[in-house]
Amino acid sequence: MDLSKRKFKDDYKKMMTEVYSMDISEAEPTEQFFVLGNLVRTYSSKNWSHTNQVYVENKQKQTYYFSMEFLLGRMLKSNLLNLGILNTVRDGLYDLGIDLETIVQMEPDPGLGNGGLGRLAACFIDSMATSEIPGHGNGIRFKYGLFKQKFVNGYQVELPENWLQNGNVWETRKMHAAVTVRLYGKVWLEKTASGVLEPHYEGAQKVLAVPYDTAVIGYKNDVVNTLRLWSAEVPAQDESTDYWSFIHQRNQIESISEVLYPDDSNYEGRLLRLKQEYFFVSAGVQSIIRHYKKMRVPMLHLAEKVAIHINDTHPALSVPELMRILLDEEKMDWEHAWNVTVNVMSYTNHTIMSEALEKWPIDMISTLLPRIYQIICEIDRRFTMKMSTLFDPSIVERTRIIECGHVKMAHLAIIGSHSINGVAQLHTTILKEKVLHDFYLIYPSKFNNKTNGITQRRWLMLANEPLCNLINRKIGNDWETTPTELKMLKAFRDDEKTLIELAKIKHQNKERFAKHIQKTMGLVLNPDAIFDVQIKRLHAYKRQLLNLLHILSLYFQLKDHPEADLHPRVFIFGAKAAPSYTYAKQIIKLINSVADLINQDTTIKEKLKIVFVENYGVSLAEKIIPAADISEQISLASKEASGTSNMKLMLNGAITLATLDGANVEIRDRVGSNNIIIFGLREEEVYQYYHDGSYHSKSYYDRNPVLRRVLNALIDGTIPDAEAEGRSVFDSLVYYGDEYFVLRDFDAYSAAQKQIDQLYRDTLKWQRMALINIAGAGTFSSDYTVQQYASQIWDVFSRIRDI
C-alpha cells in the first residue's frame, strides 16, 4: 500500500487519541503496540473486504486448510512487511520517539501449535495469500496456547500461557456467523413417506461455535485471506435452565476451546481431544456450506467450488461431517454425497510414527458423536464390501476403518479423500512402500508428494535483515516473489568480498544472540565459537541424545588434553517435551545437568558451552536461526517426515549436519554433497535391521571405549544431580535395545563433527558453503509448496511461476 511517513504519523497520533484519549508521549509500549495493531487493521480492512467480494463475485473456488494448529508467531512485523510499510512505519515511529523493536516485543506470541505441523500451517496461509490462492485457515481459538516452559533445577515445568489476557488486536468476533455443533444424545433413523431414511435426534448437547477471524495479508499484492478460529460457547438459554446446571454446562462447553494438547508426534485418546476435533471440523464444514449456498450453485457441484484440506488426521472427521450434511440436511443420496465428499477432501500425512496415529475407541466415538459414528460404519461397510471383490481379504482387513474396537482416523482420511500426500520425497516413498502400502495398492493414483516449505518473508526478510540487505545488494530483490532467484547468489561463490561480508553478518547475528543470552541467562558466549544449533521438539527419534553424548565425548577429550586442538563450540538447544513424555523430560534434565557441569568447568578454557534456552517457540527461533553455524538434523533415517527447521537454517546460511532423512535428502540434492555434512544409517539400513533383528546396542557399549566412558558418565555420578535420569537413559540405550540406534550412529556422528571442526577454520570455504546453501534454499519456499497443492490437489486458481 502507499503510505507516506507523514500520513502514518498523523494516523498514529489520531488512533492514539481515539483508542486511549492520550498523547503518544504518555503511552506505555503495550499501548503503543495496541494502537499500531489497530492502525494496521484499518490499513488492511479495505483489501480484506475487497478480496472477499471478488471471491464471491467470481464464484471462485475456495480452499479451506483445516488444522488443529496454527503456530503463527507474532504478527505485527509480518503484517507491516506484507503491507509494504515496514520501513515507513519504523521511520515514522522513530520520529515520534518510539522504537519499533521495543513495541514488537509487547505482542504475545500465540503458541497455537506444537511444532513443525502447526508452523507449516502458518507458513501455508501466509504463502496462499501471497500466491493469490483463495485459501483460508480453519482451526480452534485456544484460550491457552502451548504451555510456557520453565526450567526448575534443570527439570521442565509447565506453566499456562495466557496469550489472550490483554486481548488480541488481530481478531474480529463474528457473532452472526456462529453455528451450532451437536454432541452426545440419541439418534435413530426413520423412513419418510417417500421411503428415505431420516435421522431423528434426542437429547443432544448443543455447543455454540463462534468464529474469530484474522486477516491473512498477502505480500504486497492487496490480497487478504482469512484465518477462522472457533471458540466454544454456551448457546442462549431458555427460561427454564437453572443457574447451577448452567454453570456446570458452561464449564464443560468452554473447556472445548481452552487448551491445545501439548503432544507432538504422539497421541493420547482423550475424550476432550475428540470433542475438539469434531467441534472445529463441524463448525468449519457448516460455515463453508452456509457460504456456498449463498452462491446458489447446486450442492452436487460443491467440489467445483470448495476444497477442504485435512492437515494430519486431527480433522479427519470432516469426511463423515460433510456426508452428514449432504445426506441429512441436503437430502442427497449416498453415492452422490460420497462422490462429492471425496472430491472435496484431501489429506496430508505428517508422520510414520505409529504412536502418532490416531484411533478412537468405538464406545467413545459412538457416545459422543452418534450420527457421525453411524456414517463411519456405513463408509466402512461399503469400503469393505467393494474392496473384498477386488483385493485379498487380508488387505481389506488391514485397510478398513473400524478394527479391533477402534476407528482408525488415517484410514478414514485416506478412504474419504481424493489425494494423500507425504511431506518430503523420502517420506512419501516410505508411505507408499511401507506404512501405507496396502492403501497404495488400492489407490495408487491418490498418492503424491508435496515437500514442505517455509516462508522466506518471516524466516529471512524479518528474522535476518542484514543478510536480506546483502542479498538485495548483490542480486536485487526478485527473489522476494520468486525465491528460486536466490540461485543468482552462486555467481558470488568465489567472490572473497561477498564471502567476508557474509561472515561479518553471521558474526553480528551471533553477537546479537550472545547479548540476548547474557541478558536472559547470564551466560557469556564467545561469538567466534561455532554456534551449533538443535531446535525442535524433544523426541527420542530426533536424537538430541546423540548430540549430548558427543558433547560429553568432547568434554572428556578436553579434560584429558586441555590443549587439544578443538575449535570453541557453543551448543544451542531449544526444545519442549510433552508433559506426559517422561523419557523426553529426562533428556531435558540431563542436557541441563551436563550444561551445568561443562559451563562451570574453567579447566576446559571456555572451549565448550551449552545453552538450553527456556520456552523455545517462534519468537526465539527468529533470534537463534540467523546466528546458527550448524543445523543439527540428526533424526534416525526414516523417522522425520520432513523437518522444516532444516530449511529455515539453511536459508540463513547454516551448514546442515544431517542423516539422510526427511527433506534433508532434498537439501543434499539441491546443494550437493560438498555443502552438507551427511552421516549415519540410511533408511534402508534401518529397515534391514528391523528385518533381521541384528542390532545389539550393548555390543557398541562393550567395544567402543569412548562411547563406554560417555555412557558410564550417565551413571557414575560424573553428571551432577541427575542419577535417576542418567540411569534411565543408560538402560534404554545399553540394555533396552536403543530404539533409535543412537549408539550405532555415534562414531559416524563424531567423525562428521570432527570434519566440521576442520572445515570451519577455513572461513572462505565455510562461507562459500553457506552461500551455496542460501542460494539453494529458494526451492523450499512454501510459496511453491502451496502453489503445487493449489494446482495438483485443490485445483484452485493460482499464479504458478516457473521453478
**SS3 per residue for 440-507:** HHHCHHHEEECCCCECHHHHHHHCCHHHHHHHHHHHCCHHHCCHHHHHHHHHHCCCHHHHHHHHHHHH
Minimum CB–partner distance for residue 257 and ligand NTF (Å): 20
How far is residue 514's CA from residue 528's CA, in Å, rounded to a whole number? 11
User: Which of residues 136 and 350 has its CB atom nearest to ligand NTF in the complex?
Assistant: 350
Catalytic, out of 537, 543, 550, 589: 537
In the window 720-779, what residues touch ligand NTF (CB under 6 A)?
none
User: Which of residues 341 and 449 has its CB atom nearest to ligand NTF in the complex?
Assistant: 449
Q: What torsion do the CA atoms of 33, 39, 44, 49 make, to the nearest 10 degrees?
A: 120
How far is residue 66's CA from residue 137's CA, in Å, rounded to a whole number? 6
Active-site residue, 141 included: no
User: Which of residues 115 and 320 has its CB atom nearest to ligand NTF in the complex?
Assistant: 115
Catalytic, out of 51, 63, 399, 644: 644
Catalytic, out of 359, 446, 542, 639: 542
In the window 307-346, what residues touch ligand NTF (CB under 6 A)?
312
Amino acid identity at 97? G
In the window 214-243, what residues touch ligand NTF (CB under 6 A)?
none
Active-site residue, 785 included: no
Minimum CB–partner distance for residue 450 and ligand NTF (Å): 10
Q: How are beta strands 530-535 and 630-633 bridged, if at all? A: parallel
User: Which of residues 62 and 633 has its CB atom nearest to ligand NTF in the complex?
Assistant: 633
Q: Which of 628, 663, 621, 659 is nearest to 643 (CA)?
A: 663
Out of 111, 662, 680, 778, point to the residue binding ligand NTF (CB under 6 A). 662
Catalytic, out of 371, 432, 536, 668: 536
Catalytic, out of 648, 670, 744, 768: 648
The SS3 of residue 66 is strand
Sign of CA dihedral 57, 62, 66, 72: negative
Out of 351, 399, 544, 631, point to the residue binding ligand NTF (CB under 6 A). 351
The window from 5-13, 115-123, 270-278, 499-507 that contacts ligand NTF (CB under 6 A) reads 115-123
Minimum CB–partner distance for residue 664 and ligand NTF (Å): 10
Give the other-Cβ count within 10 Å of 409's Cβ. 27
User: Which of residues 218 and 643 has its CB atom nearest to ligand NTF in the complex?
Assistant: 643
User: Which of residues 116 and 778 has its CB atom nearest to ligand NTF in the complex?
Assistant: 116
User: Which of residues 317 and 423 has its CB atom nearest to ligand NTF in the complex?
Assistant: 423
CA distances from 402 to 273, 339, 381, 559 (A): 19, 21, 9, 58
Minimum CB–partner distance for residue 452 and ligand NTF (Å): 5
- Site size toward ligand NTF (CB under 6 A) is 18
The window from 94-102, 114-122, 145-153, 760-768 that contacts ligand NTF (CB under 6 A) reads 114-122
The SS3 of residue 220 is coil
Active-site residue, 648 included: yes
Are 123 and 453 in contact by the 8 Å Cβ rule? The answer is: yes
Are 669 and 779 in contact by the 8 Å Cβ rule? The answer is: no
How far is residue 381's CA from residue 359's CA, in Å, rounded to a whole number? 18
Q: Which residues contact 332 (CB under 8 A, 6 or more apart)?
A: 299, 300, 326, 340
The window from 75-83, 109-117, 146-154, 774-782 that contacts ligand NTF (CB under 6 A) reads 109-117
In the window 12-41, what residues touch ligand NTF (CB under 6 A)?
none
Are 78 and 126 in contact by the 8 Å Cβ rule? The answer is: yes
Contact characters 612-651, ligand NTF, x per CB under 6 A = ----------------------------xxxxx-------
Minimum CB–partner distance for residue 584 and ligand NTF (Å): 14
Are 656 and 649 in contact by the 8 Å Cβ rule? The answer is: yes
Active-site residue, 542 included: yes
Which cell numbers in the block locate residue 57? 463475485
Amino acid identity at 781? S
The SS3 of residue 359 is strand
The window from 31-39, 78-86, 113-121, 211-219 that contacts ligand NTF (CB under 6 A) reads 113-121
In the window 122-181, what residues touch ligand NTF (CB under 6 A)?
none
In the window 379-438, what residues touch ligand NTF (CB under 6 A)?
423
How far is residue 461's CA from residue 86's CA, in Å, rounded to a whole number? 11
Out of 36, 100, 117, 733, point to the residue binding ligand NTF (CB under 6 A). 117
Q: Which of 621, 642, 657, 640 is nearest to 785 (CA)?
A: 642
Minimum CB–partner distance for residue 681 and ligand NTF (Å): 17
User: Which of residues 454 and 514 has its CB atom nearest to ligand NTF in the complex?
Assistant: 454
User: Which of residues 427 and 506 has its CB atom nearest to ligand NTF in the complex?
Assistant: 427
The window from 112-120, 285-293, 590-598, 616-624 that contacts ligand NTF (CB under 6 A) reads 112-120
Out of 132, 161, 171, 264, point to the residue binding ligand NTF (CB under 6 A). 264
Considering the rule CB under 6 A, would residue 120 count as an interface residue with ligand NTF?
yes
Catalytic, out of 77, 324, 350, 607: 350
Active-site residue, 130 included: no
User: Which of residues 142 and 513 has its CB atom nearest to ligand NTF in the complex?
Assistant: 142
Minimum CB–partner distance for residue 352 and ligand NTF (Å): 9
User: Which of residues 127 and 509 has its CB atom nearest to ligand NTF in the complex?
Assistant: 127
Give the other-Cβ count within 10 Å of 583's Cβ. 16
Minimum CB–partner distance for residue 122 and ligand NTF (Å): 11
In the window 67-86, what residues touch ligand NTF (CB under 6 A)?
none
Minimum CB–partner distance for residue 784 and ligand NTF (Å): 15
**SS3 per residue for 649-665:** HHHCCCEEEECCCCCHH
The window from 59-67, 349-357, 743-751, 761-769 that contacts ligand NTF (CB under 6 A) reads 349-357
Q: Which residues contact 707 (CB under 8 A, 6 or more apart)?
A: 549, 553, 700, 701, 743, 746, 747
Active-site residue, 537 included: yes
How far is residue 333's CA from residue 337's CA, in Å, rounded to a whole number? 6
In the window 443-502, what residues touch ligand NTF (CB under 6 A)?
452
The window from 110-118, 403-411, 564-572, 666-674 that contacts ligand NTF (CB under 6 A) reads 110-118
User: Which of residues 420 and 722 has its CB atom nearest to ligand NTF in the complex?
Assistant: 420
Are 116 and 643 in contact by the 8 Å Cβ rule? The answer is: yes
Residue 633's DSSP bridge partners are 658
Q: What torsion do the CA atoms of 463, 469, 471, 474 make, to the nearest 10 degrees?
A: 180
How far is residue 650's CA from residue 627's CA, in Å, rounded to a whole number? 11
User: Which of residues 225 and 664 has its CB atom nearest to ligand NTF in the complex?
Assistant: 664
Q: Which of 276, 275, 159, 266 is nearest to 229 (CA)?
A: 276
Q: Which of 538, 530, 558, 712 is nearest to 612 (CA)?
A: 538
Minimum CB–partner distance for residue 166 and ligand NTF (Å): 30
**SS3 per residue for 584-629:** HHHHHHHHHHHHHHHHHCHHHCCCEEEEEECCCCHHHHHHHHHHCC
Minimum CB–partner distance for residue 313 and ligand NTF (Å): 8
Minimum CB–partner distance for residue 149 and ligand NTF (Å): 17
CA distances from 744 to 430, 696, 726, 740 (A): 22, 9, 19, 9
Are 548 and 594 in contact by the 8 Å Cβ rule? The answer is: yes
Dihedrals phi, psi of 83, to nearest 5 degrees: -75, -10
Minimum CB–partner distance for residue 408 and ligand NTF (Å): 15
Q: Which residues contact 120 (CB under 8 A, 6 or more apart)?
A: 311, 423, 452, 644, 782
| Active-site residue list | 350, 536-537, 542, 644, 648
Q: Which residues bind ligand NTF (CB under 6 A)?
A: 115-117, 120, 264-265, 312, 350-351, 356, 423, 452, 640-644, 662
